[in-house]
Amino acid sequence: MLIDTHCHIHEEDYPDADGALERAFENDVEKLICVGTDNGTSREAAEFASRHKNVYFSVGAHPHDSKDGFDVVMQIAKENPAKLVAIGEIGLDYFYTHSPRQTQIAAFEAQLQIAQDAGLPVIFHVREAFEDFWPIFRNFTGVTGVLHSFTDTVENMQKAVSEGLYIGVNGISTFAKDKRLMWQAIPLEKMLLETDAPFLTPVPYRGKVNEPAFVRNVAEYHANMRGVELEHLARATSANASTLFSL
């Protein structure tokens, strides 16, 4: 069985979310996590998960949206409903500056405090910002999580693993060949599978809207790259997801 640890099919503009969910279950996706990126989508994620079996959710203000606040995120985290499994996606993004850097940092620290207080793992979004990420992360003892959609260096991957973090891989790994050696080096016991649907559609579905069913293609790609059976990789990554998110 497979677990899609990161998707956005709960958002209002996603086409046919119920159909995508049904297709996921038909393709051996046992569970999935709908990830919030701002106040509105965090609420949508909570509502979608409440209506569907084996769907869980996270709440957070993405660094792009941190300028708009995260009061709903705080409210839901305080309520701590049964299917809330993480805070995220949160972090730092210096590739774009949709929110100023200092605003991103302040929101990141505040939401890490929420995660620490609630005892929840974190779904991290970090892009060209590891120099600031590491010292901030280390200030929050006991916080763990996953580096979502990781495309950075082998060195930062190894540092993340040494810090107890998991590494999220998705469809981008099926077509961004320049990072192949880094993805090969991820310890299987620290790998999570995700789609980031509707974004980053994997080969062979490039040009189509991504959906959780396609996490199988991500799994097949990494199993082939490592020379292991699909069932072995699926079982290992699903166990990782279950451990991190208490699924």
- For the chain, the structural domain boundaries read 2-245
AA identity, residue 133: F
- Checking 173-176 for CB contacts under 8 A at 24+ apart, the result is 173/202, 173/218, 173/221, 173/222, 174/202, 174/203, 174/217, 174/218, 174/221, 175/202, 175/203, 175/206, 176/151
| HSE-up of residue 205 (Cα within 13 Å, Cβ side) | 20
| pTM of the shown model | 0.97
In tens digits, the chain (247 residues) has pLDDT values of 999 999 999 999 999 999 999 999 999 999 999 999 999 999 999 999 999 999 999 999 999 999 999 999 999 999 999 999 999 999 999 999 899 999 999 999 999 999 999 999 999 999 999 999 999 999 999 999 999 999 999 999 999 999 999 999 999 999 998 999 999 999 999 999 999 999 999 999 999 999 999 999 999 999 999 999 999 999 999 999 999 999 9
14 within 8 A of 46, measured Cβ to Cβ: no
Class of domain 2-245: alpha beta
**109: number of Cβ within 10 Å:** 14
192 within 8 A of 240, measured Cβ to Cβ: yes
169 within 8 A of 194, measured Cβ to Cβ: yes
